[in-house]
Amino acid sequence: MLQPNAQPGDVIFVNLDGNDVIDDNDKTMIGKGTPDWTFGINLNGSYKNFDISMLISGSIGQDILDVTRRLDCRYVNLPAEFMDRWHGEGTSNSMPRFTWTNDNYRISDLYVKNGNYARIKNLQIGYTLPKAWTNKFFVDRLRVFVAAENLLTITPYDGLDPELGGDESSNGIDRGYYPQARTFTIGLNLGF
């Protein structure tokens, strides 16, 4: 047997080199952390006294190794998807059984996910009051606005945040960094 300690519900590793032993010689590239394309779109418009601006950014063509799904540590929180793990015949064929005694935690394509995303990074809508109103209070320009940052992210990635930072050695690895906050702002631009 290639995996002598394997039980039903365990991850099945492929014997790529054909030597009937699962070892380091069976490792292969299973993902790419660098995107093929990164993009940004900045849209601006105005109508009468209203204005709107929006920045959309994202990337296409990268994979993310989600190492937040650690099965080798006994005392960590796990995502809800582990409730649908393999726990007997007729259950999940995509999420392995939960155990600390085998190799289910080893890096495999089970934890490599599509990292494509598009995000509305900034959206701002404003209204500039007419000068006839503001000149009465010795104000040259008064603009009221509402803004949102990180308003919407469209992605197939089910981890915390597909927009990963980090250095070159951890490119494409989700280590569980806290996702970017969604922020709402109301403000005034005042000119005298």
**pLDDT: is 152 or 82 the higher one?**
152
CA atoms of 148 and 153, how far apart (whole Å): 13
pLDDT of residue 166: 64
Q: Are 30 and 109 in contact (CB under 8 A)?
A: yes
Token reading at 182 = 């969604």
pLDDT of residue 64: 93
Closest CA to 149 of 188, 191, 117, 179: 179
In the chain the beta strands, taken as DSSP E runs, fall at 37-47, 50-60, 63-66, 112-114, 117-128, 141-154, 173-174, 183-191
Closest CA to 86 of 3, 10, 159: 10
pLDDT single digits (tens) 17-44: 888 888 888 888 888 988 999 999 999 9
pLDDT single digits (tens) 120-151: 999 999 999 998 888 888 888 999 999 999 99
pLDDT of residue 128: 95
pLDDT single digits (tens) 53-108: 999 999 999 999 988 876 666 677 777 777 788 888 888 877 888 777 777 777 88
pLDDT of residue 157: 94
CA atoms of 9 and 96, how far apart (whole Å): 5
Q: Of 4-8, 45-49, 150-154, where does mean pLDDT reach its minimum?
A: 4-8
CA atoms of 97 and 190, how far apart (whole Å): 60
Sheet holding 63-66, edge to edge: 112-114, 63-66, 173-174
